[in-house]
Chain A
Amino acid sequence: MIPSGASSTISNFPAVADCSRRSISNSPAAADCSRRSTEKAPPPRRHHSRRCVLPEDALYEILLRLPAKDLCRLRAVCPPWHSLLSDPHFIDAHAARHTDPLVVVGNQACEQNGPVLCDIVDLSGRIVKRVPAAGYEDGSRTNYRWVRFVMCTHADLVCVADYGMGMSCQLLNLATGAVHDLPDGVAAQVQEQQGITCYCAWIVFGLVPSTGEYKVLRMVEVEYLFGNPGMVEADDFDHPAASDHCEILTIDGSSPATSWRATHAAPYDLELLHSDSSAVIGGIVYFMLSYDYWDHHGTELGVVGSFDLETEKWRSSIRGPSSSGHHATLEDIKIAALSGHLALCCRTYSSSTMDIWFLTDFHKGSWVKQHSIKVSLFHVPNVAQPLLMLKDGRIAGHIENWAFLENYNQKIDINEPQMKSYVAVGLYGGNLLSLANGNAETF
């Protein structure tokens, strides 16, 4: 902050002191200074006798301009700088000045059993921060030939799971690098069953706004090797009878979550093939319904289902935009959270465009077409999933393992396509300068 009414200070030139003893207004740096030196600030020195002595407001302005990575490194300069650069007021001011969005790209470092690497990438494709974590440290687990997937992101948290094969799930904190193992095993209710194998078919987590807790919702596919009384008999060993169970885990940050709780099964078939077939907005998880489901029933029963993380109840399904009935396959429709809205991105072959519809009223099921993007060959065969809308109208998103920045007809890759296995892309909602984000700090 620059004093504007400085005329009154003309005979009162701001005291100039070494940076190492300097305190910054309204920052805890002052407390640290007292420990370093109690002598009075030296009188203003002339420019021949010293270097690099800056008024505090100017130093504050200079530091505010630096990227987060530089600032984190500069915490090692001296204790007063460390205090200033960790001060919540400074961090907020920095965030207000540096509003460019960041994207989390989750990579599988090697083909199997390697640690998951998460990169925080800016929109020019530069890796701002790389977080290596969530590998198998326990040697016994390497017997599993499963592959880990980055499933979803929120603030500084990333959920990693043995999607579709195992049961192991972890939350990774991008700020601290800490890895938090979610409880092994399944809910007691499921466990009682005999002769079953389970795997995590889907996992998603989100913040419950009213309580500040995180809740993790997962769908467990249970296979009954010898058939299950009361259910469809297994045809043979290759096609065992199976059923889906939904489980929930509450993470309130104060005590470690110990076990999964069984919750109601979904009242409709969900489409859980792609890592991008769900979206979390304001404590509600939205899912694409299975293509079989809405194909067989027309659009009568809707294309989007949802689960309320607070009440732990499934909500009624909603229909898609009126034109979505024309879509031939599920490949042509994607669900996304865009600017805080639920969005459906629908590819229309006839016009070579991708329409982005926003849900404006859940109860009425009304959608408004917000954007119509001309699609290039690049988009074949899948519809891209947009991540965010920039102020100038550009849209950043990803398609399979490519992240891109779309300016309607113009595509710019933001992440050089290295064709790594199993890449997931999400919006980064954390702050690189802060070490903790709410409940995440306990992980």
Chain B
Amino acid sequence: MEVDKGKGEAEETRKVAEADRDTVTLKSSDGKLFEVSKEAAARLSTVLAGMIAGGSIDDNGTDLKQIGSEALENVVDYCNKHANSIPSAALISSSISFNTAPFKEPEEWERKFVDRLSHDALFDLVEAANFLGMERLLDVTCHKISEMMKGKSPDQIREVFNIKNDYTKEELEEIRQELAWAFYDD
């Protein structure tokens, strides 16, 4: 897919040279550099697509100050794997109907990709995917987190999400009674 059609004729030589490359270099908050396929980056991330089209990609490493190296490595890994596995048409159709369509099940390799991540790495990846406008990756990571949450007690969820229990004992008891059916197992 051509991603640099919008470039003007009078671009600086450096930028023209950069446009000819088929990878872009991304720089994490802690200064590490990662190379990613330009085609995949533009296809999977609305933010990167905008930067590539707008010529704001830095050949020496585009600063992504909000993304740590571990999360960025996972993003790049995901893009490179994705480049070889799903035709873009399928991806486009899934993203158009993102808000109303039934949830699209992750592919087997996507499942494996998120299964190996720790909680922290997974949550960081959600944040990075959200920041970069990567709908498909968000879909996959949100699916994984929702799977982890199924059947968990409020206490367990508070621990995983690092949420303080703001309820009084009485308030909690009231909710438990009101929604008793949701608290016992099948």
* A contact set with B: CB distance below 8 Å: 1-7, 9-10, 13-14, 16, 18-20, 36, 44, 46-47, 50-55, 57-58, 61-63, 65-67, 69-70, 72-79, 81-82, 96-97, 99, 126-127, 129-131, 177, 435
Contacts and interface: CB of A to CB of B under 8 A. Distances in A.
Given A2-B133, A53-B123, A70-B151, A65 B167 contact: no
A52 B146 contact: no
A7 B47 contact: yes
B158 interface: yes
B163 interface: yes
In the complex, the 6 A-B pairs of residues with the closest C-beta atoms, listed nearest first: A7-B50, A72-B182, A65-B146, A6-B133, A76-B154, A73-B182
B176 A54 contact: no
Contact of A79 (B124, B151, B166, B176): B166
B46 A7 contact: yes
Contact of A51 (B162, B167, B175, B179): B162
B171 to A, nearest CB: 8
A411 to B, nearest CB: 24
B165 A78 contact: yes
A130 B184 CA distance: 10
A75 B179 contact: yes
Contacts of B8: none
* Most chain B CB within a 10 A radius of its CB, from A2, A3, A20, A51: A2
A69 B186 CA distance: 11
B87 interface: no
Interface in B131-159: 131-133, 135, 138-139, 141-143, 145-146, 149-154, 157-158
A78 B163 contact: yes
A239 to B, nearest CB: 47
Contacts of B29: 46
A19 B161 contact: yes
Contacts of B98: 2
Interface in B4-54: 29, 46-47, 49-51, 54
A62 B153 contact: no
* Most chain B CB within a 10 A radius of its CB, from A4, A9, A51, A53: A51
Contacts of B172: 76
Contacts of B117: none
Contacts of B130: 2, 6, 14, 55, 57-58
A67 B181 CA distance: 14
Interface stretch (B76-84, B99-107, B108-116): B99-107
A217 B49 CA distance: 63
Nearest to B150: A70
Nearest to A132: B181
A65 B143 contact: yes
B126 interface: yes
7 contacts: A3-B133, A6-B132, A7-B49, A54-B126, A78-B167, A97-B103, A126-B186
Contacts of A61: 138-139, 142
Interface of B: 29, 46-47, 49-51, 54, 66, 68, 70-71, 98-100, 102-103, 119-120, 123-124, 126-127, 129-133, 135, 138-139, 141-143, 145-146, 149-154, 157-158, 160-167, 172, 175-176, 178-179, 181-183, 186
B179 to A, nearest CB: 5
Contact of B149 (A62, A131, A435): A62
A9 B146 CA distance: 27
Contact of B164 (A9, A65, A74, A78): A78
* Most chain B CB within a 10 A radius of its CB, from A50, A61, A99: A61
A55 B176 CA distance: 28
A65 B142 contact: yes
B17 to A, nearest CB: 23
Contacts of A81: 163
Nearest to B157: A77
Nearest to A35: B166
B66 A44 contact: yes
A415 B66 CA distance: 51
B102 A97 contact: yes
Nearest to B164: A20
Given A2-B133, A66-B149, A73-B179, A79 B47 contact: no
A62 B50 CA distance: 26
Given A47-B71, A52-B162, A78-B158, 9 more contacts: A3-B133, A7-B46, A7-B51, A10-B51, A20-B166, A52-B123, A53-B162, A70-B182, A73-B154
Contacts of B102: 97, 99
A130 B183 CA distance: 11
Nearest to B151: A70
B164 A18 contact: yes
Nearest to A33: B166
Contacts of B70: 47
Nearest to A55: B130
B101 to A, nearest CB: 9
A16 B66 CA distance: 11
Given A52-B119, A65-B143, A46 B68 contact: yes
B158 to A, nearest CB: 6
